[in-house]
Amino acid sequence: MTTRTRRRVVERTMFALTGAATAVTLGILFFLLGYVAWQGAAAVSLDFFTHLPAPVGERGGGMANALVGSAKLLALAAAMGIPIGFLGGVYLAEYGGRLAGLVRYAADVLNGVPSIVVGITVYALVVVPMGHFSTLAGGIALGLMTIPVTLRTTEEFLRLVPAALRDGALALGAPRWVTIVRVVIPAGARGIAAGILLALARVAGETAPLLFTAFSNRYWSPGVRQPTASLPVMIFTYAIAPYDDWHRQAWAAALVLLAVVLGANLLARAALGRGRPA
Amino acid sequence: MEEVGTVAPPVGGPGRTVIARRPTPPQPPATRPLAPPLLRVGERRRWRLGDPAFRALAAGFALSVVGIALLIAVVLFRRSAAARQAFGWSFLWTSTWDPVFLRFGALPFVYGTVVTSALALALAVPFGLGTAVCLAELLPRSVADPLAFLIELLVAVPSVVYGLVGIFVLVPVMRTLTAPVAATLGWIPLFAGPTYGVGLATAGVVLAVMIVPFIVAVSREVLLAVPQAQRDAALALGATRWETLRHVVLPYARSGIAGSVVLALARALGETMAVTMVIGNRPEISASLFAPAHTMAAVLANEFTEATGDLYLAALIEIGLVLFGIACAVNALARLLIPPEAARP
Amino acid sequence: MHRTRRLSWAIAGVLAAGAAAAHAAILVNGAGATFPYPLYSKWFDEFHKRNPEAQINYQSIGSGGGIRQILEGTVDFGASDGPMTDEQLAQAKVPLLHLPTVLGAVVPIYNVAGAGTLHFTPEALAGIYLGTVTRWNDPAIAAANPGTPLPDAAIVPVHRSDGSGTTYIFVDYLAKVSPEWAKRVGRGTSVNWPVGLGGKGNEGVAGLVRQTPYAIGYVELIYALQTKQPYGDVRNRAGRFVGATLASVTAAADAAAAHMPADFRVSITDPPGADAYPIASFTWLLIPTRIPDENKGRILKQFLDWMLSDGQSFAAGLGYAPLPPSVIAREREALARIAVGS
């Protein structure tokens, strides 16, 4: 075989291998989605959305309280994580300085902390002093986890705002803070909103930190000072149990969770246009 | 906008007024008009406090992020005091985990974490990188872009969903697949039986599936960022596309890809739910990949809410501290490798 | 003007209704044993039907969890099938009462096709979990099961990965019947298991055994019944192979009921008695003797009172044995010691 042929054969082989890798990867990932969709669709019913869990071992019941609980937890997480992440990102983008490097590193650390460790910390800091598990503690744990993504996204999209806009406002005599608040931030608002949506979608699926903070609840959880059921925790509890009915409900819950998370991601991407994810 | 300008008279000499008509400058990008006017005459004085106040506010929030990270470290450190004093550094290489006789060592969990993560990387990197290469270099953009978009969506799938599919699909499959392997290759300690379906190998596979989309997404971005000029130069010299890839593009993108791998590793290390559902939850070190094991994150999920006794709880928190330390180190490594622009949160 | 006033009344009405609804439900939180969870779940549901304002939210996180959470005060009551040790009781902020609720049995479940009901000797069970008996056709098992075809397959022992009263009952029994177990492993809600896979909760163990061929696990009887898994007989101290039934579990408590200690902490594993089931136990609710919240305290006391009378009738339907009458009488006396309000 001539060198030229050998080289061509090598090229074809390697590209065939990468093609195979792609096929396998895509195949597995789409199988995953399809399987959840198939099992979940078979199990989802109106009861699932409207009923409370039934006593152990009895058929029927639903996860209405878990759906509401997850929504409340996300609302709390947003209330806590967005202000800190957003204003922190504003600082990084507009002012910078030595502090900025430290803040970025801290955000990276916070991002890399395993979610279960965040749960332990919030347990020690919130649950024990409060004296009981609560939706609030769960919301705080999830809020802590939204901070890094929100911070990074805000900084990134504020940096993308053209300098001409800032300069124009400053030239007209606006103080710096007015420039930021009324010119720069609105210009970057769409990307920031998309990033926040992505951050919330990410924590919507988190289970581990909720195990020690929001705990779980077989009833409705009024207010924020009581433990609450949540979709991910219910999926986990039902999946490892031996009851077939619980398994079915776990699939339904997984489908709902997946739909919400992927839907939020799609929405965020659409808002960003053909941009990179945050 | 037209402008009529006056040129200032030269210093010290008789001036001549020149009226010049400048060409119309390009229009600035269309923005919403700033109405009402930001300032009225005389307003600027009132807002002298505004700037420092706002800056302080933003700085305060930014600093709170640092404060939170520190707080986590401090809480973990202080609450693990009992265990650190009782066991010292030997905690890291003791392999007993005995809540009855109060002997605790983190080695089985460190072992499980390291092995599952290593296995996950070993599986995910070839597939992930291969897919990224295919999507970035080979397939036409019209095909590659939607596929890449879908894969990026999969980064967002929650861990517990992977665990669910893991329990009901992967575990039976692994049980069927590993039994003949253990039967034939069982003399190699790595493949020794018995096979349960749950174990290190299954957890490694689940983790691999979880981190592949991540590697694909970031690596593809990095590959796309390689300047076309580099590729063209190699092709012009007569290299095949594969040779270009291997000798020019990949080395150029090497640190970015390495960074993506490290970030994927960071995610795998902290993964809790999917792992605890398929690993067998047995704090034991075994040479076989088919043996059940435990990881640091999984033992926390299982035993944290019920560890009675201060030493038991402190030992668990110390495991949390070790996990935190490893996560910090891996993240620092990733930051060195990936340029900040391409980094993913 | 009229529209605004009507609107304000409407809003006030909604708020009032919301406030009323919020006040109507009193949520009491408990956590602990998975052993009695099916029965507790039924009890709390039935009690809620009879008292719509009472919502008792119980999370089955394992006896270890129940003990820890009640010690930390993050729940209003705990539940455990392993009685708390003196050291643990000393850590409680408020003195705790152990109140027995029901009797249950821990049964060995297994996943061996075609084996029917297997007979287990204490030595076999100890050996399986010590790792000395490794195959299903080992003489230790085969000798007790003549005529039953046992496969030459490796046993997969399954135990609890979380802190468990069910574990406590089981290892308490093993420690009594096997000196080697007592020395090597000991008793506790979490132990250093020589072999086996870990499942979370009774549910997790039952699930693992169900899905893993040739596995053996130990669970509360109701979990075997509800998941339709076969469970074995165990040889008792009198030498007879006894299965877990209402009668055999009640017989196990007979000897202990007569000499019940004042704090109700007693072990009834490996009891004397020809018909007694060897791996049975009381299960307890851990109630603080001082409950500052008036509403919660009232609900709890009402529930306990109901549990001791009407509640016991639900036990048999779910495979648990009701408490002996003498124990019930003594518990009612103990109930009076719970002080409600500040």
Q: Provide the strand spans (E) within C63-152.
A: 77-80, 96-110, 119-120
Q: Which chains touch A (3 or more CB pairs under 8 A)?
A: B, C
For residue C7, give how far its alpha carbon lies from the nearest alpha carbon of chain B (Å). 35
**pLDDT per position as a tens digit, B211-261:** 999 899 888 988 888 899 989 999 999 888 888 888 989 888 888 888 888
Nearest CA to A180 among B31, B54, B61, B46? Answer: B54
pLDDT of residue B34: 53
Across the interface, which of A20, A168, A265 has its CB nearest the CB of B28?
A: A168
- Positions of chain C with pLDDT under 70: 1-24, 342
The residue behind tokens 């300085």 is A97
What whole-number distance in Å separates Cα of residue B275 and Cα of residue C161? 14
**Quick check: A247 and B168 CB within 8 A?**
yes
Best interface-test mutation with B: which of C184, C193, C197, C202 has the largest number of B CBs within 10 A?
A: C197
**Quick check: C55 and A132 CB within 8 A?**
no
- Confidence band, pLDDT 50/70/90 cuts, at residue A176: confident
What angle do the packed helices C122-130 and C165-177 form, to 10 degrees? 110
pLDDT of residue A125: 92
Across the interface, which of B97, B280, B281 has its CB nearest the CB of C192?
A: B97
The residue behind tokens 């009861």 is A47
Pull the structure tokens for residue B314. 């402190």
- A 10 A CB-CB count for A225 gives 15
- Confidence band, pLDDT 50/70/90 cuts, at residue B12: very low
A 39-68 residues inside an 8 A Cβ radius of B: none
**pLDDT per position as a tens digit, B266-290:** 888 888 888 888 888 888 888 888 8
- Residues of chain B contacting residue A259, judged by C-beta atoms under 8 Å apart: none
Residue type for B138, please? L
Residue type for A219, please? Y
The secondary structure element, H or E, covering residue B269 is helix B250-270
Taking residues B125-148, what's their average pLDDT?
90
Examine the pLDDT at B138 and tell me if it is beyond 50: yes
pLDDT of residue B27: 60
Residue of C nearest to B168 (CA): C211
What whole-number distance in Å separates Cα of residue B208 and Cα of residue B301? 21
Whether B166 contacts A57, CB under 8 Å: no
Residues in CB range of C268: below 8 A, 6 or more apart = C252, C253, C255, C256, C280, C281, C282
Across the interface, which of B29, B47, B66 has its CB nearest the CB of A102?
A: B66
Q: What is the DSSP string of A156-217?
A: HHHHHS-HHHHHHHHHTT--HHHHIIIIIHHHHHHHHHHHHHHHHHHHHT--HHHHTTT---
Angle CA A69–A71–A77, to nearest 5: 105
- Residues of chain A contacting residue C73, judged by C-beta atoms under 8 Å apart: 131-132
**Quick check: C61 and B171 CB within 8 A?**
no
Nearest CA to B296 among B263, B322, B325, B274? Answer: B322
The residue behind tokens 């492993």 is C185
B 72-91 residues inside an 8 A Cβ radius of A: 72, 75-76, 79
Q: Which chains touch C (3 or more CB pairs under 8 A)?
A: A, B
Q: Is C62 on the interface with B (CB under 8 A)?
A: yes
**Quick check: C67 and B307 CB within 8 A?**
no
Examine the pLDDT at B1 and tell me if it is beyond 60: no
Across the interface, which of C68, C186, C211 has its CB nearest the CB of B100?
A: C186
For residue C122, give how far its alpha carbon lies from the nearest alpha carbon of chain A (Å). 27
Whether C208 contacts C197, CB under 8 Å: yes
**Quick check: A95 and B162 CB within 8 A?**
no
Across the interface, which of B57, B69, B340 has its CB nearest the CB of A109?
A: B69
Examine the pLDDT at B44 and tell me if it is beyond 70: no
What angle do the packed helices A135-160 and A98-112 form, to 10 degrees? 130
Q: Is B97 on the interface with C (CB under 8 A)?
A: yes
Whether B294 contacts B281, CB under 8 Å: yes
Across the interface, which of A226, A240, A241 has its CB nearest the CB of C27?
A: A226
Residues in CB range of B27: below 8 A, 6 or more apart = none
State the burial class of residue B224 (Cβ atoms within 10 Å of its Cβ: 0-12, 13-18, 19+): middle
- Confidence band, pLDDT 50/70/90 cuts, at residue B115: very high
Across the interface, which of A133, A223, A242 has its CB nearest the CB of C210?
A: A242
What whole-number distance in Å separates Cα of residue B33 and Cα of residue A169? 11
Pull the structure tokens for residue C164. 């468990």
Taking residues B198-217, what's their average pLDDT?
91
State the burial class of residue B39 (Cβ atoms within 10 Å of its Cβ: 0-12, 13-18, 19+): middle
The CATH label, of 1.10.3720.10, 3.40.50.2300, 1.10.260.40, 3.20.20.370, for the domain at A46-274 is 1.10.3720.10
For residue C8, give how far its alpha carbon lies from the nearest alpha carbon of chain B (Å). 35
pLDDT of residue B47: 55
State the burial class of residue C308 (Cβ atoms within 10 Å of its Cβ: 0-12, 13-18, 19+): buried
pLDDT of residue B339: 58
For residue A81, give how far its alpha carbon lies from the nearest alpha carbon of chain B (Å). 10
In this predicted structure, which of A229-243, B54-68, B329-343 has the lowest mean pLDDT? B329-343
B 293-312 residues inside an 8 A Cβ radius of A: 297, 300-301, 304-305
What whole-number distance in Å separates Cα of residue A62 and Cα of residue C318? 22
**Quick check: A106 and B153 CB within 8 A?**
no
Q: Is C4 on the interface with B (CB under 8 A)?
A: no
**Quick check: B130 and A22 CB within 8 A?**
yes
Examine the pLDDT at B70 and tell me if it is beyond 70: yes
Residue of A nearest to C68 (CA): A128
pLDDT of residue B42: 55
For C118, phi and psi rounded to 5 degrees?
A: -90, 150
Examine the pLDDT at A15 and tell me if it is beyond 60: yes
What whole-number distance in Å separates Cα of residue C63 and Cα of residue C169? 11
Across the interface, which of C42, C72, C207 has its CB nearest the CB of A240?
A: C207
Pull the structure tokens for residue C120. 């287990």
**Quick check: C27 and A127 CB within 8 A?**
no
Q: What is the DSSP string of C39-85?
A: HHHHHHHHHHHHSTTEEEEEEE--HHHHHHHHHHTSSSEEEESSPPP
> So what's the ipTM on this one?
0.84
Best interface-test mutation with A: which of B273, B281, B303 has the largest number of A CBs within 10 A?
A: B273
Residue of A nearest to C18 (CA): A222
What whole-number distance in Å separates Cα of residue A104 and Cα of residue C199? 40
- Residues of chain A contacting residue C41, judged by C-beta atoms under 8 Å apart: 55-57, 218
- Confidence band, pLDDT 50/70/90 cuts, at residue B303: confident
Best interface-test mutation with B: which of C86, C187, C190 has the largest number of B CBs within 10 A?
A: C190
Q: Is B114 on the interface with A (CB under 8 A)?
A: no
What whole-number distance in Å separates Cα of residue B287 and Cα of residue B27? 70
Across the interface, which of C44, C59, C222 has its CB nearest the CB of A216?
A: C59
For B340, phi and psi rounded to 5 degrees?
A: -55, -30
State the burial class of residue A102 (Cβ atoms within 10 Å of its Cβ: 0-12, 13-18, 19+): middle
**Quick check: C197 and B171 CB within 8 A?**
no
- Residues of chain A contacting residue B168, judged by C-beta atoms under 8 Å apart: 239, 247
Q: Is A94 on the interface with B (CB under 8 A)?
A: yes
pTM of the model: 0.81
Whether C55 contacts C85, CB under 8 Å: no
Residues in CB range of A257: below 8 A, 6 or more apart = A204, A205, A231, A232, A235, B158, B160, B161
Whether A50 contacts A116, CB under 8 Å: no
- Confidence band, pLDDT 50/70/90 cuts, at residue A247: confident
Residue percentage of chain B with pLDDT more than 70: 83
Examine the pLDDT at B307 and tell me if it is beyond 80: no
Taking residues A177-182, what's their average pLDDT?
87
In this predicted structure, which of A99-103, B24-28, B42-46, C138-142 has the lowest mean pLDDT? B42-46
Examine the pLDDT at A235 and tell me if it is beyond 70: yes
SS3 C164: coil
- Confidence band, pLDDT 50/70/90 cuts, at residue A84: very high
Whether C96 contacts C265, CB under 8 Å: no
What whole-number distance in Å separates Cα of residue B171 and Cα of residue B185? 20
- Confidence band, pLDDT 50/70/90 cuts, at residue A277: very low
- Confidence band, pLDDT 50/70/90 cuts, at residue A278: very low
